[in-house]
Amino acid sequence: MRTQVGIVGAGPAGLLLSHLLHLQGIESVIIEARSRKHIEERIRAGVLEQGTVDILTESGVGERLKREGLIHHGIELRFNRRGHRINMYELTGGKAITIYAQHEVVKDLVSARLAAGGRIVFEAGNVSVQGFGGSTPTIRFQSDGNHHELTCDFIAGCDGFHGVCRPSIPASALTAFDRTYPFAWLGILAQAPPSSDELIYAYHERGFALLSMRSPKISRLYIQVAPDENINNWPDDRIWQELHTRFATDGGWKLTEGPVIQKGITGMRSFVVEPMQYGRLYLAGDAAHIVPATGAKGLNLAVADVRMLAQAFADFYSSGRTRLLEQYSQTCLRRVWKAQRFSWWMTSMLHRFDTDSPFDQRRQIAELDYLTGSRAAMTSLAENYVGLPWD
Ligand code: RFL
Ligand code: PHB
């Protein structure tokens, strides 16, 4: 088998890259370890930056997003039992975020690729990448009980944080930057109408809590828990009780409960590998970097990477120029590090750290108090949250 760009992983990064390449007349094949059902049901992110919405729309996969996505102009920060709205729309000159689940983006992209005759190999076994240090990049995998070899001009490693592409690069060629946080998030999906029209990020002495949503009927809620927490210690009643406590206001705000339809625990980590390229292997999305979820940046960074990568491949195939490919890593990393900084800052400001002294806790409250009272500070949060301009 042969193609121009071999893509490992059918997450948002791999699927969107394949779609954008197709629009430029460039052929690709996606090799995915899991089933179509699995990737289309995996509960993950929900916040799309304005630029992410724009690229999905402009590339022709935004029809359902436009119909079903919930546009939000603001978010709320809640602390000391009071809410403070940040009007992002006004502060950024008319930018917003859209709530639309990541697995819906994945469904839209899978169906667009298949409708256009795109090739996605699902449930591929023993995927490995070779030859990218020289001129014959190859992806080997098993499918339907047979061994296959896909030769390509380039490989795009879009296989997420636990994929095979990054570890296949000689360790001496990469530098990793890593930070783990001393807490995790316990997240639920509940069949309950969202108790607020907009997202609420809450700082509380018992820990952070977040109210988000997926539709007018489904709430998505998170609480900060210990990093090694066992989900079996959290029956639904205990989760609701904790949510009521952390979101409580003096104004008597009410949290609506409903049946919990999914729950899970997610670790919080910052990670970047540099450079995001080795020979003819290009890393994109979570394969190259992950952020703690507080800034809602992971999916959006994956989209920003493949937007750049698709442009660089298009330039190479149309003109033979390699300049954009050579600059790919450097260009992406500037945005990646700004998103890392923002995600780290939101995480540090809003969570309780066991090691914090009473001084640190007073400082956190002062930071929230300053932020919600200063137009300059709110503008800084808003422009990062809706997404910084493309380079
Ligand atoms: P993905 O989505 O992990 O896709 C990688 C794909 O590669 C496949 N794969 C392999 N395929 C072949 N061979 C192998 N050896 C393979 N190993 C893995 C996997 O099966 C998978 O299909 O990476 P991608 O495309 O880079 O996308 C990144 C995003 O998924 C991620 O950054 C976000 O979900 C992070 N995130 C959020 N991001 C946001 O922008 N906004 C949010 O609101 C937000 N909330 C979240 C989040 C992540 C969360 N979790 C569960 C980690 C909330 C949560 C709870
Ligand atoms: C979500 O809706 O899953 C979500 C929203 C905002 C975040 C993280 C996750 O910061």
CA of 11 to the centre of ligand 1 (A): 6
DSSP label at residue 262: E
Give the integer Cα–Cα distance in Å for 50 and 336: 17
Backbone angles phi, psi at 261, to 5 degrees: -105, -10
Atom of ligand 1 nearest to the CA of 15: 25
pLDDT value of residue 18 = 98
- Tell me if domain 5-73+96-178+269-346 and domain 181-268+353-386 are identical in fold: no
Closest CA to 247 of 237, 256, 235: 256
CA of 46 to the centre of ligand 2 (A): 6
pLDDT category, 324, cuts 50, 70, 90?
very high
Answer yes or no: is pLDDT of 13 > 80: yes
* CATH node for 181-268+353-386: 3.30.9.10
Answer yes or no: is pLDDT of 173 > 90: yes
CA of 162 to the centre of ligand 1 (A): 10
Answer yes or no: is pLDDT of 121 > 90: yes
**CA-based angle 309:335:221, to the nearest 5?**
105
Q: Give tens-digit pLDDT for 42-53.
A: 999 899 999 999
Query: Coil, strand, or helix at residue 198?
Result: coil
pLDDT value of residue 391 = 76
pLDDT category, 179, cuts 50, 70, 90?
very high
Query: Coil, strand, or helix at residue 220?
Result: strand
Give the integer Cα–Cα distance in Å for 74 and 199: 8
**Beta carbon of 220 within 6 Å of any ligand 2 atom:** yes
Give the integer Cα–Cα distance in Å for 35 and 307: 25
pLDDT category, 14, cuts 50, 70, 90?
very high
Using a pLDDT cut of 90, give the percent of the chain over it.
Answer: 99
Q: Give tens-digit pLDDT for 256-308.
A: 999 999 999 999 999 999 999 999 999 999 999 999 999 999 999 999 999 99
Q: Relative to the alpha carbon of 103, which ligand is closest?
A: 1
DSSP label at residue 24: T
Q: Is the peptide bond before 193 cis (omega within 30 degrees of 0)?
A: no
- Distance from the first to the final alpha carbon of the chain: 36
Atom of ligand 2 nearest to the CA of 295: 10
CA of 120 to the centre of ligand 2 (A): 28
Quick one: average pLDDT of 12-30?
A: 98
Count CA within 13 A, CB hemisphere, residue 215.
Answer: 11
Answer yes or no: is pLDDT of 93 > 80: yes
Give the integer Cα–Cα distance in Å for 141 and 10: 15
Beta-bridged to residue 289, according to DSSP, are: 272
**Beta carbon of 78 within 6 Å of any ligand 2 atom:** no
CA of 99 to the centre of ligand 2 (A): 9
**Beta carbon of 293 within 6 Å of any ligand 2 atom:** yes
pLDDT value of residue 259 = 98
Per the listing, tokens 């699902």 go with: 122
- Residue 325 token pair: 């490919």
Give the integer Cα–Cα distance in Å for 32 and 159: 8
Nearest CA to ligand 1 atom 9: 159
Helix axes 323-350, 375-385, angle to 10 degrees: 130
CA of 343 to the centre of ligand 2 (A): 12
Quick one: average pLDDT of 334-349?
A: 98
CA of 129 to the centre of ligand 2 (A): 33
Q: Is the peptide bond before 259 cis (omega within 30 degrees of 0)?
A: no
Closest CA to 165 of 198, 139, 204: 139
Closest CA to 26 of 301, 374, 306: 306
**Beta carbon of 45 within 6 Å of any ligand 2 atom:** yes
Quick one: average pLDDT of 138-161?
A: 98
Residue of 212, 291, 294 to mutate, ligand 2, most atoms within 8 A of C-beta = 212
Quick one: average pLDDT of 333-350?
A: 98
Quick one: average pLDDT of 96-111?
A: 98
3-state secondary structure 51-111: HHHHHHHHCCCCHHHHHHCEEECEEEEEECCEEEEEEHHHHCCCCCEEECCHHHHHHHHHH
- Residue 254 token pair: 């009410």
Query: How do the domains of the chain map onto residue ranges?
Result: 5-73+96-178+269-346, 181-268+353-386
Quick one: average pLDDT of 94-121?
A: 98
Give the integer Cα–Cα distance in Å for 70 and 75: 13
* CATH node for 5-73+96-178+269-346: 3.50.50.60
All residues at 6 or more sequence positions from 295 whose CB lies less than 8 Å from its CB, including other chains: 339, 342, 343, 345, 346, 347, 384, 385
**Beta carbon of 296 within 6 Å of any ligand 2 atom:** yes
- Residue 119 token pair: 């090739």
Beta-bridged to residue 119, according to DSSP, are: 29
- Which stretch of DSSP H or E encloses residue 49? none
CA of 298 to the centre of ligand 2 (A): 10
- In this structure, which amino acid lies at residue 19? H
Q: Relative to the alpha carbon of 266, which ligand is closest?
A: 1
Nearest CA to ligand 2 atom 1: 46
